[in-house]
Structure 1
């Protein structure tokens, strides 16, 4: 081989290698809506804090309204959105260009101003992407866009009676994809084989509660409990732990609404630090917050023994808490920000975003000590929380943002109701 040709090939190889490295650095794996560890936080640093929605790295518009959080796996982005009135899963590359889409049956578009037919966020095990829609469709799609299986939980188990739109996302255990339905009527937790979609187990989860307090929108959390893979499930005014292999109830804690208040659905998903679960309840949006710390140990009904602390002065109704460096961070529905110790419930510091007439619906993100909080009017507020609270920026996306921000190296994915934005330096 002539020397000049050899040198040319080597130069091309270096260029291609550099391109592959650059591509690999565009996005970081984020396989479910609250991140790999269900914390809502990331160790990534040097993400953007200020941007112009008209001058982003890229943006991709969808043909219908969606509120789910995108996920990322190996530089591919997976997001649910309707296409021509049908539920759909859309795959994009790291530059926002479409790779493929899979369409299912007709969408149920929902009824809440901040809802859609695809509120549930997808999740992946690296082999398939699992999706659920308000229409009842639960499906597994491989990473090339081929549907492995599909079923409809509304047709199988009846419609949900939730007052607002469905909110619970599918979660993955070692063997199963798990869905929860908590509403007025037959409530349940069910596991389906990831490979075939066949029902593995389904357990009833019914509790007598005041009006609407049996309605649940939170997502179960996979934990290890007493050496077993388990599902921590919050709803119906009870926090429960189920064996992931069998669905068997092994632990239960109640007593979260001793005064019998009405119209307290469960929305915010619990977070876990060590053996402590933090539960946000009440109606913080109406000035009635409740916050609870519960020890995850023992067995059976632990209502009288495992409650560590309770607070009625801070809380969150819709945005889920964040775990960052073993502390809990709350963004309240009106923008109050609190950092506290999960073991004691004691406040470490408090801050607040500027007052505004609109609430916070999307669950916030912390990346590298920077807090990103989307407000329902589409403004993403940014604060440095490494040493207390310091407001940095307010970034208007120009459309409502209900989904959670997704971090990447030097960039963020922000999903508006009709557009996916990638902002970065």
Structure 2
């Protein structure tokens, strides 16, 4: 697929998102400023040697959160669950040196064996970095300045669920958005919450129904020109939901379309919202105002084409599905037609990103798969990082950042 077409598609996408111009070169949340995982401006290598890494550092504890980047600073979290400590660190992207490290107390949380207190990715803007720490007793949101000064922290009810919590943070111009999804057997109620970025005070809280299993998906913020901005959530209890980011008002909902636990996050491209629940991917068509064109889905995909944990990615007119078992499928986004399906490497928990027309995704064993984002299959490389990873690659101005269980590393661009 020509780079010119990809760049044009990217401009269309950012024209439909609410990320401001100053955020375009920043990696402010899970899978980039708009959550779609596409960087058509910078470049990254498709093959490399050990000497191509600018730096590698060890992290305290372990974690799965993707880093976030603002200018020369990489912010990352990790946790040592045995000592009940969570860590937030600021790293110099040029040399890997530690600017600062802060500790937070994390308490017992029943969770899946592959989950961790440092699973949710932080978020960052021009002045602060925001983190979320889930436990059974409380959910703690904290804001720190770029130099590590604690500006505020806010506490809410905890998470009562077999698999714990894992949804990442999203920022609007005014609020930090997070979810508190409970199981229906929990004594606590589910809600989606917006807190003021400057004070930590609640701006709005939307009460939600609980399901048999809580959802882990992270919403995204989207805005087409001259249209109202929307937060798009996906969950077992409420299916697809669009929420006004300023008020918490539900703008529309397709409640019946996702009948199982939702782990992968939704994406938006070319008038389609793609979501995955366990055993099925569902594609919902929306109009220019971002309202659904029908009560039913445009189409759905069977389990052998539907990831459970990895988030899909759409590049131009193509939809790429990186499945948990390591298979990768390429489909026509508009119709669901399968163009190819291959299994280049092993099982995957991380999500893909696209940089300058190439797809990058890490396997659970810590191998980086590099594929051409095109309608024919082309494997560009498989590279071993030397440590397990459930995380997602990140772009900075100096190169591509990989996070493994215990390490952070910068591959020069």
- Output one character per residue of 1:161-191: Cα deviation in whole Å (capped at 9) or x when no partner: 2221321011111111111122214211111
For the residues of structure 2 that align with 1:333 and 1:317, how far apart are their CA atoms? Answer: 7
Change (3 A) 1:362 1:303: same
Structure 1 segment 252-271 matched on structure 2, within 5 A: 252-256=253-257, 264-271=260-267
Residues 156-305 of structure 1: matches in 2 within 5 Å? Answer: 157=157, 159-185=158-184, 186-206=189-209, 209=211, 211-212=212-213, 215-224=214-223, 227-237=227-237, 238-256=239-257, 264-283=260-279, 290-297=280-287, 305=295
Q: TM-score, normalised by structure 2?
A: 0.84
Q: Report the Cα offset of residue 386 of structure 1.
A: 3.6
1:63 counterpart = 2:60: yes
Gaps in structure 2 of 5+ consecutive residues: 1-23
1:336 CA displacement: 2.1
Structure 1 counterpart of 2:145, from 134, 142, 146: 142
Change over 3 Å in CA distance of 1:193–1:415 after alignment to 2? same
Q: Tell which deviates more after alignment, 55-64 or 126-135.
A: 55-64
Residue-by-residue CA offset, 1:133-185 (whole Å, 9 max, x unaligned): 123221111111111100222xxx2x312221321011111111111122214
Residues 102-146 of structure 1 show CA distances to partners (whole Å, capped at 9, x for unaligned) of 222235576434321111111112111111012322111111111
Cα deviation code 1:331-387 (max 9, x no counterpart): 11122222223332233x21323354xx20011111112211211111112222345
Q: 1:202: Cα distance to partner?
A: 0.7
Question: CA 1:74–1:400 in structure 2 vs 1: closer, same or farther (change >3 Å)?
Answer: same
**Equivalent pair of 2:29/2:169 in contact (CA under 8 Å):** no
Which structure has the larger Rg over C-alpha atoms?
Answer: 1
Give the whole-Å Cα distance in 2 for the aligned partners of 1:304 and 1:278.
15
| TM-score with structure 1 setting the length | 0.81
The change in CA–CA distance for 1:305 and 1:265 in structure 2 (over 3 A counts) is closer
Q: Which residue number in structure 2 is paired with residue 104 of structure 1?
A: 104
Q: How many residues align?
A: 377
Residue aligning to 1:330? 321
* Per-residue deviation, 1:75: 1.5
Shift in CA distance, 243/43, structure 1 to aligned 2, threshold 3 Å: same
User: For the Cα contact (< 8 Å) 1:278–1:342, is it kept in 2?
Assistant: no
Cα deviation per residue 1:6-50 (whole Å; 9 max; x = unaligned)?
xxxxxxxxxxxxxxxxxxxxx952111111222112114541233
Q: Which residue of 389, 402, 408 corresponds with 1:401? A: 389
Contact 1:47–1:409 (Cα < 8 Å) also in 2: no
Quote the residue 2:16 is aligned against.
none
SS at match of 2:69: strand
* 1:206-243 deviation digits (Å, cap 9, x = unpaired): 15x5x32xx10000111227822221110024111111
